Amino acid sequence: MSSHAPVIWWIRRDFRLADNPALTAAVNSGAPVLPVYILDAQEAALGAAPQFRLGLGLDHFARELEKAGSRLILRRGTALAVLRDLIKETGAGAVHWSRLYDPQAIARDTDVKKQLQEQGVAAKSHGGRLLFEPWTVETKTGGMYKVFTPFWKSVRVRDVDSLLPAPGKLPAPDAWPAGEDLASWNMGAAMRRGAEVVARYCRVGEAAAQARLDEFLEDKVSAYKDRRDFPGQDATSGLSENLAWGEISPHRLWHQGRAAMEHNSQGAETFLKEVVWREFAYHLMFHSPHILTDSWRQEWQDFPWSQEVTPQVQAWRRGQTGYGFVDAAMRELYVTGKMHNRARMIVASFLTKHLMAHWKIGMDWFADTLVDWDPASNAMGWQWVAGSGPDAAPFFRVFNPSGQLDKFDPDGAYTRRWIAEGQGNPTQTALDFYAAAPLSWNLSPDMARAEAVVSLQAGRDRALTAYHESRETG
Ligand SMILES: Cc1cc2nc3c(=O)[nH]c(=O)nc-3n(C[C@H](O)[C@H](O)[C@H](O)COP(=O)(O)OP(=O)(O)OC[C@H]3O[C@@H](n4cnc5c(N)ncnc54)[C@H](O)[C@@H]3O)c2cc1C
C-alpha cells in the first residue's frame, strides 16, 4: 500500500498486462495505479456479440489484475464525468489510456484530454493498439495510402517498438474507490442466441492468446501461405478476437513473426502481411472515416443495392441459402462469433452481388454477431468485397460459392463441420448451431437442406447488369 495520490489507468480495449504502454507509463510514474473500465454510451452501443465478448474479457481481466495485487474498478456513465468523480474521490493526478481510432472515440478522447488538462490533471494517451500510428505513415507526396501494396512496402522496413514487460505487481492505492458489479451489467443481454455455446468457442485472455501465438508459429506458420485459404483446416492464427480486445499486442505478433521468418520465411512473411492489412484498415479509417458509413468511392453511393432485409437476406443470416459454403460460413459465425477470412469474402460477395443487398446490411450483421468485431477491418472488408472501397476487388469479380467450395474445401471438411442436414452422424459443431440459433428461427437438424434462394447464374447476371447500367449512367 502506498500513501501517494494514484494515477488512473483508463482501460479500454487493451486487456493485457504485457506490452501495454499506457500501463507501463502509469506504473513508471511511481504512483499507485487505479485500473478503471468505464461503460459509456459508446461501449454500451456495441453490437450484441462484441458486448458479450467484452463481458468475458472484463471478467477474465479482473481476475488477472487481482493476481497482480490490483483490482478492476467498473463504472458506468459519461467517460469525462466518471473520471472527474474518480479524481475527486481519490485525488488522482494523472490518467493514462491506450488510443482508439474510430471517429467517435477520437472525439470523446480529445475532449476528455482537453478538459482534464484544463483542470490540472495530466491526461496522456498512448499507442499500443497499432504497430504504426496512422498519421506517421504517408505517401511521398504527404497523403494517405489508398492501395495496400505500397502501404506494405513502406512499413515493412520500419522499426517497430520493442515489447514492454508486464509489471510483476501493480502498486495499489491506500483505499479502493467503489465499483460496480460486472454481473449487474448483464453484458450478454442482447445476445438472443445460445451465448454459452459461443463462449465455449472463445479464447479469452492474454495467456491463452500468447499460447496460441506460440503454437501457431511453432506448428502452423510454415504452411500458412499455402493453407490459409482453406477454412476446413486449422491453418490461421485465430488471434483476431484477442487483437480486437487488446489481449495481445500486434507488436508481439510482429516481433515473434519476424523471428519465425528465420526458419519459415514465406509463411511468416505472409502472416506479417496479414497483420499489416489490419494496420491498413486503421489507416483508411483514420484518414477517411466515411468508410464506416458510406461507400468510400463516391461513384458507388447510388449503386442500386437493396436496403431491405428481404426473406433472402434472412436466409443468408440464418445459414439457409442452399449454398454449402455460404451456409457453413454463416453458421460458423453464429456458433463461434468468428468466420474464416475466405468464408467472409464468399458470404460478402453472395450478399452484395447474388442477392444485391447493400454491404451495410452485411457489415451491421457482422458488427452484431462477431466476437472479433473490429470497426476498421469490418468496414474495409465489406467495402473491399462490394467493390466500393479503396483498393477493392472489382465488382464484376463475383465469387461462385460452389466453385469456391470445390477449390477451398475439396474434402468437405468445412461443410461437414457446420452443416448437419444430410449427415447420418452430424458433427458436434454442426449440432451446436441448433443450440446457438434462436428458437424463433424454427430450425432443426432433421430438416431438409434449404432450397437455393437464388440461381447462381440469375443472381450473377442481375448484379452485372446493375453494374454495367450504373457505369453507363454514372
Ligand atoms: C467482409 C469482411 C469482414 C471482416 N471483418 C473483420 C472484423 O470485424 N474483425 C477482424 O478482426 N477482421 C475482420 N476481417 C478480416 C479477416 O477476415 C479476419 O481478421 C481473419 O479472418 C481473422 O482470422 P485469424 O485471426 O485466424 O487471421 P490470420 O490469418 O491468422 O491473420 C492474423 C491477423 O491479421 C489480421 N488480418 C488478417 N486478414 C485480414 C484482413 N483481410 N483484413 C484486416 N486484418 C486482417 C487480423 O488481425 C488477424 O488476426 C473481415 C474480412 C472481411 C472480408
Nearest alpha carbon, ligand 1 atom 29? 236
pLDDT of the residue at 2: 46
pLDDT of the residue at 187: 97
Substitution site in 224, 377, 397, 414 for ligand 1 pocket (most atoms within 8 Å of beta carbon)? 377
Substitution site in 234, 274, 378 for ligand 1 pocket (most atoms within 8 Å of beta carbon)? 274
pLDDT of the residue at 450: 95
pLDDT of the residue at 3: 55
Substitution site in 129, 284, 341 for ligand 1 pocket (most atoms within 8 Å of beta carbon)? 341
Q: Tens digits of per-residue pLDDT, 221-271?
A: 999 999 999 999 999 999 999 999 999 999 999 999 999 998 878 999 999
How large a percentage of the chain has pLDDT more than 90?
96
User: Could you state, in order of their start, the residue ranges of all structural domains in the chain?
Assistant: 1-128, 130-163+196-287, 298-473
Strand bridging mode 33-39 / 7-11: parallel
Q: How far apart are CA 270 and CA 46, in angstroms?
A: 31
Pick the atom of ligand 1 nearest to 375's CA. Answer: 8
pLDDT at 367 over 90: yes
pLDDT of the residue at 449: 93
Q: How far apart are CA 73 and CA 69, in angstroms?
A: 13
Cα(9) to ligand 1 centroid in Å equals 29
Residue 382, ligand 1, Cβ within 6 A: yes
What average pLDDT does this structure show over 83-92?
A: 98
Q: Enter the CATH code of domain 298-473.
A: 1.10.579.10
pLDDT at 340 over 70: yes
Q: Enter the CATH code of domain 130-163+196-287.
A: 1.25.40.80
pLDDT of the residue at 155: 97
Q: Tens digits of per-residue pLDDT, 287-326?
A: 999 999 999 999 999 999 999 999 999 999 999 999 999 9
- Output the average pLDDT for the chain: 96
Cα three-residue angle 134-137-141, rounded to 5 degrees: 130
Q: Tens digits of per-residue pLDDT, 421-467?
A: 989 999 999 999 999 999 999 999 999 999 999 999 999 999 999 99
pLDDT at 74 over 50: yes
Cα(243) to ligand 1 centroid in Å equals 10
Cα(274) to ligand 1 centroid in Å equals 8
pLDDT of the residue at 474: 64
Cα(224) to ligand 1 centroid in Å equals 14
Q: Binning pLDDT at 50, 70 and 90, where does residue 346 land?
A: very high
Substitution site in 129, 240, 243 for ligand 1 pocket (most atoms within 8 Å of beta carbon)? 240
CATH number of 1-128, picked from 3.20.20.80, 3.30.420.110, 3.40.50.620, 3.40.50.1010: 3.40.50.620
Domains 1-128 and 130-163+196-287 in one fold: no
Pick the atom of ligand 1 nearest to 228's CA. Answer: 29
Cα(341) to ligand 1 centroid in Å equals 6
pLDDT of the residue at 264: 76
pLDDT at 135 over 60: yes
Cα(275) to ligand 1 centroid in Å equals 8
Residue 278, ligand 1, Cβ within 6 A: yes
Q: Tens digits of per-residue pLDDT, 169-213?
A: 999 999 999 999 999 999 999 998 899 999 999 999 999 999 999
pLDDT at 1 over 50: no
pLDDT at 11 over 70: yes
Pick the atom of ligand 1 nearest to 238's CA. Answer: 26
What average pLDDT does this structure show over 96-103?
A: 98
C-alpha grid cell, residue 166? 508486464
Nearest alpha carbon, ligand 1 atom 4? 378
Q: Tens digits of per-residue pLDDT, 393-427?
A: 899 999 999 999 999 999 999 999 999 998 999 99
Residue 274, ligand 1, Cβ within 6 A: yes
pLDDT of the residue at 245: 98
